[in-house]
Amino acid sequence: MAGANCSLSLFKFKETSSSLHSSSLTLRFPTPRKTLNSTHKTKTIRSKKHDFRRNSSNAGKNRDEIEAVVTQKRLKDDKEKSRSQASGFKSFGTQRKEKKGFLYDLKDSQADSGNLQDATFLNAVVKVYCTHTAPDYSLPWQKQRQFTSTGSAFMIGDGKLLTNAHCVEHNTQVKVKRRGDDTKFVAKVLARGVECDIALLSVENEEFWKGAEPLRFGRLPCLQDSVTVVGYPLGGDTISVTKGVVSRIEVTSYAHGASDLLGIQIDAAVNPGNSGGPAFNDHGECIGVAFQVLRSDDAENIGYVIPTTVVSHFLNDYEKNGSYTGFPSLGVLLQKLENPALRECLKVQSNEGVLVRRIEPTSDAHNVLKEGDVIVSFDGINVGSEGTVPFRSTERIAFRYLISEK
What is the model's pLDDT at position 56? 42
In a structure prediction context, what are the per-residue pLDDT tens digits for the chain, which is 406 residues long?
444 444 333 333 334 333 334 333 333 334 444 433 433 444 444 444 444 444 444 444 455 554 555 455 555 555 454 444 443 333 333 333 343 333 333 334 333 434 554 577 789 999 999 999 988 888 888 878 899 999 999 999 889 999 999 999 999 999 999 999 999 999 999 999 999 999 999 999 999 999 889 999 999 999 999 999 999 999 999 999 999 999 999 999 999 988 899 999 999 999 999 999 999 999 989 999 999 999 888 888 899 999 999 999 999 999 999 999 999 888 899 999 988 899 889 888 778 899 999 999 888 888 889 999 999 998 889 999 888 999 988 889 988 888 888 8
- Is residue 259 among the annotated active site residues? no
Q: Which residues contact 191 (CB under 8 A, 6 or more apart)?
A: 199, 200, 314, 318, 323, 324
- Helices 36-54, 56-86: inter-axial angle, 10-degree rounding: 80
User: Using CA atoms, how far apart are residues 354 and 35, in angstroms rounded to an integer?
Assistant: 117
From the candidates 132, 152, 197, 253, which is the catalytic residue? 197
Q: Which CATH number fits domain 119-209: 2.40.10.10, 2.40.100.10, 3.30.1180.20, 3.40.980.10?
A: 2.40.10.10
Among residues 132, 152, 166, 259, the one annotated as catalytic is: 166
Cα–Cα distance between 334 and 329 in angstroms, integer? Answer: 13
Catalytic residue list contains 297:
no
Q: What's the rounded Cα separation, in Å, for the pair 242 and 178?
A: 19
List C-alpha distances in Å: 110 to 91, 106, 114, 284, 322. 14, 12, 12, 21, 47
- Domain ranges for the chain, please list them: 119-209, 226-321, 332-404
Selected catalytic residue, list 240, 253, 275, 385: 275
> From CA 227, how far away is CA 278, in angstroms rounded?
10
Domains 119-209 and 226-321 share a fold: yes
Please give the Cα distance from 341 to 339 (Å, whole number): 5
CATH superfamily, with its number, for domain 226-321: Trypsin-like serine proteases (2.40.10.10)
Is 138 annotated in the active site?
Answer: no
